[in-house]
Amino acid sequence: MADNSMTTDQRNILKFDPKDHEIALSTEDLHVFYGKSEAISEGDLQFERYKISALIGPSGSGKSTYLRSLNRMNDRIATVKGKIMYRGLDINSNDIDVYEMRRHIGMVFQRPNPFAKSIYENIAFALRQRGVNKKQDLDEIVERSLRQAAMWDQVKDDLNKSALALSGGQQQRLCIARAIAIKPDILLLDEPASALDPVSTSQIEDTLLELKQNYTIIIVTHNMQQASRISDYTAFFNLGKVLEYAETGDIFTNPQVDLTNDYISGNFG
Amino acid sequence: MNAKRIDKIATGVLYGVAALVVIILVALLGFILIEGVPQISWHFLTSPALAFEAGGGIGIQLFNSFYLLFLALLISLPISLGAGIYLNEYAPQNTVTGLIRTTIEILSSLPSVVVGLFGYLFFVVQFKLGFSIISGAFALTVFNLPILTRSIEEALANISDNQREAGYALGLSRWETVTKIVVPAALPSIITGVVLSAGRIFGEAAALIYTAGQSAPALNFSDWNPFDISSPLSPMRPAETLAVHIWKINSEGIMPDAKDVSAGASAVLIIAVLLFNFLARWLGKRLYKHLTAE
């Protein structure tokens, strides 16, 4: 990086006391490299259980890269060094069964990506691969997940229709339903509403606030209002570094780092 | 000259060129169909060929063509599917993979008569399979593999990576993701590719002359035991196909109605190939519709 003027004392990173806060996931000294270039340096964050944590920052700041490293989606395209601690396990180590791990840490992507299957199959399919075969069980989980994603009433009569016929907002909620159907602990969302209209966006936000009761949510967003509306904690990324991580209210009203202030008041990014 | 005028001239020229192509194609098809269709009758389609008298049909050749096509696809489809999946989903981007791709490209540009001669030396002579359906099916496999592999690879490559990511994010392995998500999503274009390649195989002659042979011995259509040499299903019998038959009549046919038989057989061949093409489009569209909406 050309700009090395930033020093650690200009950073403001929240550290939880494990006695008062249950930590669902944390990273220690995370570095991500694409080839030789370093996309993330010093990613140290803790995520509290049953809270929504937002990752904000300008394009190219590394927030998506960071998020995708958390459930090892970057394995084939990048080198990730450092520790990702989940339930006392370093899930970034080589001995981890990545497929099993991803059932605990689910993900929803920027573009809705339903499978070219029916609405029902989109959800039931992964369950069946895990050995849930009874029709009754599947029906139950499909209904519950769609209810949690707040779309059951709209699609309950069309479960056999192709998911690709749904609108963008509905597709994205189906993707959320699909992700929570396998009952992960943690839900990672990579700008889940950026391709959607304002109405769908606010529905997704409501859904996330509902889900918070049972899931730890980490969300990357470009949308400052979105971060302030739904998140409990916010991390500000710039040039591959976390510059500030604090309670969302503090970040937006009283940022400690000048760059954070510049970014949230729209001066750059 | 101003831009508008140039545009008008260019449009006119392009229209002309396109029209020329269409005219040539229509004239060719028209000629074959007008000459041939009057010869087609149930008797013509079902009775065996006659070497010295008039009134022979193409029944056995027609059956042979379809049977050979079926066997060739039976062998080449699984191999192509495996190769296509490997190349698009598993192969690392390195020189070895590049070499494999180049080899496939070279194979696909191999003249079919060379494939036929190779098949003759390799399957007929070396492996002592004789002039037989199975030799022909292997030769057609060599002929078909590169094209089918390529089209399957392309069909898979057209499936967006976000489908794979969706699978991984649900904790599915790469194998599960490929076989249960990517391949089904690519199925419409895979099937289109298979049917189009079937049309090519169906009309192939040069690769078969020295492998499946140029004779069509009488078949006993009441015997469906593949191990009897006179059974239609026997893979060890020589089997002249429709395309080979046309070639043979025109080079050495001595039946009095050789010209008519050749015209009728050509029309049947063309119609079959056209049907394959329409079928490919129809199936592809239908499957795609089935996947994307109710």
In this prediction, residues A48-59 reach a mean pLDDT of 94
The CA distance from A182 to A188, in Å, is 14
8 Å CB contact of A73 and B180: no
8 Å CB contact of B181 and A100: no
Confirm or reject contact between B92 and chain A (CB < 8 A). Answer: no
Residue A162: DSSP 8-state: B
Shortest alpha-carbon distance between residue B57 and chain A (Å): 47
CB A53 within 8 A of CB A180: no
Tokens linked to B200: 């090519």
Say which of A73, A116, A165 has its CB closest to residue B169.
Answer: A73
In chain B, the percentage of residues whose pLDDT exceeds 70 is: 99
Q: Would the pLDDT of A179 be above 50?
A: yes
pLDDT of residue A63: 93
Shortest alpha-carbon distance between residue B168 and chain A (Å): 7
DSSP string over B127-177: T---SSHHHHHHHHHHHHHHHHHHHHHHHHHTS-HHHHHHHHHTT--HHHH
**Residue type (1 letter), B139:** A
Tokens linked to A202: 């606010």
Exposed, middle or buried, A133 (CB in 10 Å: 0-12/13-18/19+)? exposed
Confirm or reject contact between B105 and chain A (CB < 8 A). Answer: no
In this prediction, residues A6-24 reach a mean pLDDT of 77
The CA distance from A89 to A24, in Å, is 11
Confidence of residue A1 (pLDDT cuts 50, 70, 90): very low
CB B257 within 8 A of CB B149: no
Which are the contacts of B39, defined by CB distance < 8 A and separation ≥ 6?
Answer: B260, B261, B263, B264, B267
Confirm or reject contact between B90 and chain A (CB < 8 A). Answer: no
Find, among A137, A79, A73, A84, the residue nearest to A110 by Cα. Answer: A73
In chain A, the percentage of residues whose pLDDT exceeds 70 is: 96
Query: Crossing angle of helices A119-129/A168-181, nearest 10°?
Result: 20
Q: Would the pLDDT of A268 be above 60?
A: yes
In this prediction, residues B7-14 reach a mean pLDDT of 94
CB A16 within 8 A of CB A44: no
For B96-133, the pLDDT digits (tens) are 999 999 999 999 999 999 999 999 999 999 999 999 99
8 Å CB contact of A165 and B172: no
In this prediction, residues B2-9 reach a mean pLDDT of 91
CB B169 within 8 A of CB A71: yes
pLDDT of residue A242: 92
ipTM of the complex, rounded to two decimals = 0.88
Confidence of residue A4 (pLDDT cuts 50, 70, 90): very low
- Give the mean pLDDT of chain B: 91
For A208-235, the pLDDT digits (tens) are 999 999 999 999 998 899 999 999 999 9
Confirm or reject contact between B160 and chain A (CB < 8 A). Answer: yes
CB B253 within 8 A of CB B53: no
Terminal CA-CA length for chain A: 17
For A99-150, the pLDDT digits (tens) are 999 999 999 999 999 999 999 999 999 999 888 999 999 999 999 999 988 8
For A181-214, the pLDDT digits (tens) are 999 999 999 999 888 888 889 988 999 999 999 9
Which of A104, A125, A172 to mutate to test binding with chain B, by most B CBs within 10 Å of its CB? A125
Say which of A99, A107, A117 has its CB closest to residue B172.
Answer: A99
Query: Crossing angle of helices B59-85/B258-292, nearest 10°?
Result: 40
Find, among B77, B74, B66, B97, the residue nearest to B187 by Cα. Answer: B77
8 Å CB contact of B172 and A129: yes
For A125, which residue in chain B has the nearest alpha carbon? B180
Q: Would the pLDDT of A2 be above 70?
A: no
Confidence of residue B293 (pLDDT cuts 50, 70, 90): low
- Give the mean pLDDT of chain A: 90
The CA distance from A239 to A1, in Å, is 8
**Chain A partners of B165 at a C-beta cutoff of 8 Å?**
73, 107, 109, 113
Cα angle B76-B82-B88, degrees, rounded to a multiple of 5: 125
CATH of domain B40-292: 1.10.3720.10
Q: Would the pLDDT of B225 be above 70?
A: yes
**Chain B partners of A103 at a C-beta cutoff of 8 Å?**
170-171
The CA distance from A212 to A218, in Å, is 10
The CA distance from B261 to B267, in Å, is 10
Confirm or reject contact between B163 and chain A (CB < 8 A). Answer: yes
The CA distance from B140 to A41, in Å, is 56
Confirm or reject contact between B289 and chain A (CB < 8 A). Answer: no
In this prediction, residues B241-245 reach a mean pLDDT of 94
pLDDT of residue B167: 94
Find, among A166, A200, A173, A202, the residue nearest to A189 by Cα. Answer: A173
Which are the contacts of A237, defined by CB distance < 8 A and separation ≥ 6?
Answer: A55, A56, A57, A61, A62, A63, A66, A243
pLDDT of residue B64: 93
Lowest mean pLDDT among A5-14, A35-44, B137-146, B253-262: A5-14
Q: Would the pLDDT of A3 be above 80?
A: no
Confidence of residue B212 (pLDDT cuts 50, 70, 90): very high
pLDDT of residue A269: 63
Lowest mean pLDDT among B81-85, B183-187, B218-222: B218-222
Q: Would the pLDDT of B54 be above 80?
A: yes
pLDDT of residue A76: 83
8 Å CB contact of A73 and B165: yes
The CA distance from B276 to B274, in Å, is 5
Which CATH superfamily hosts domain A12-264?
P-loop containing nucleotide triphosphate hydrolases (3.40.50.300)
**Chain B partners of A174 at a C-beta cutoff of 8 Å?**
none
The CA distance from A144 to A177, in Å, is 9
Residue B254: DSSP 8-state: -
Shortest alpha-carbon distance between residue A204 and chain B (Å): 18
Which of A68, A100, A109, A113 to mutate to test binding with chain B, by most B CBs within 10 Å of its CB? A113
